[in-house]
Amino acid sequence: MPPDLLRAAVKAKGFMPADEGLALFETACEYGSRGPLCEIGSYCGKSAVYLGAAARLAGTVVVTVDHHRGSEEIQPGWEHHDPSLMDHCVGKMDSLPTFRQTIAHAGLEDEVVAVVGRSETVARLWNTPLAMLFIDGGHSEDPVRADYEGWSPHVMPGGALVFHDIYPDPADGGQAPYRVYLEALATGAYKEVRHTGSLRVLERL
Please list the active-site residues: 139
**DSSP per residue, 29-82:** HHHHTTS-EEEE--TTSHHHHHHHHHHHHHT--EEEEE-SS--GGGSTTSTT--
- Give phi and psi for 186, each to the nearest 5: -70, -20
Q: Give SS3 for 6.
A: helix
Q: How many residues does the chain have?
A: 205
Query: In which element (H, E) is residue 155 found?
Result: strand 155-163
